Amino acid sequence: MDGILIINKPKGMTSHDVISRLRKFYHQKKFGHTGTLDPDATGVLVVLCGKACKINQFLADTDKKYIAKIQLGYSTTTDDIHGDVLDRKPIDENFDFDSVISSFQGPCHQRVPMTSNKKVNGMKLLDYQRKGLPVPEVYQDVMIYAIKPLEDLSFEIACSSGTYVRSICRDFGPLTNNLSCMASLVRTQVGRFTLSQAQDLDDLANGEKPVLYSIRSVLDHLPMIAYPDIHAIYQGKTIHLDTDYDRVCIVENKEPIAIYDRIEEDIFHSKRGLW
């Protein structure tokens, strides 16, 4: 079973839980995902199956879309309603939601949530928190391509990979004289894959045929080159190529079998075999 499977992750499961269930369904160990989705969030989880597990680092189409809802009145350790309450404050409703939420659009220097997998000195921030240690403040630059206000303190957001929607929900509060956190989150799109393409785990468990997208389809940002000495590719040898690209995908019978990177002039070395 090789290819890309799109799962609609249910609430209450970790991304790793999804992978574990798929391994049991299909009696195959080689499954992985392209980006963690919080246990209490739902929506698109891109799963790599079999040979596709080797292409994660080469994916370029990783921007994401979400629908989120803000909770006013308190802040938490996790920046969502599932964490421990840090502080409470009466809700001030004297603000223009559309205007404030729209102000997040554009480049954003974002403080990473204390409960996250972001590492500092080799340790995840959530591990600092679990051990009762002071949690370092970590910031990262992300891009909010578009953010659209919806009803009932909800919003739709298109953003770069690595964006924490929880941080936006948390940061909304101080801009409106409030405390806030995230009430809910649905990931509606990852790259080219949308929620409408996602399959439910229960349906797969009940015999629904998995829809697999090809490895070639997600490497279409790379030039596909058929190299005449295919044995050299399988042996991982350095090769000569006449191309302007610094990274290429070598194919056999139109199927990707290796990624090669330029090391100098027309000389390329094997970055990853895909067979």
d(CA 215, CA 225): 15
Is 87 marked active-site?
no
Q: Is the CB of residue 154 less than 8 Å from the CB of residue 68? A: yes
d(CA 97, CA 93): 9
Q: For the chain, how big is the Rg over CA atoms in Å? A: 22
First to last CA, the chain: 13
From 38, 61, 127, 266, active-site residue: 38
Q: Is the CB of residue 147 less than 8 Å from the CB of residue 163? A: no
> How is the chain classified by DSSP, letter by letter?
--EEEEEEEPTT--HHHHHHHHHHHHT---EEESS---TT-EEEEEEEEGGGGGGGGG-----EEEEEEEEESEEESSSBTTS-EEEE------S-HHHHHHTT-EEEEEEPPSSSS-EETTEEHHHHHHTTPPPPP-EEEEEEEEEEE-STTEEEEEE-TT--HHHHHHHHHHHTTS-EEEEEEEEEEETTEEGGG-B-HHHHHTTPPP-EE-HHHHSTTSPEE--S-HHHHHTT--EE---S-SEEEEEETTEEEEEEEEEETTEEEEEEE--
Residues tagged active-site: 38
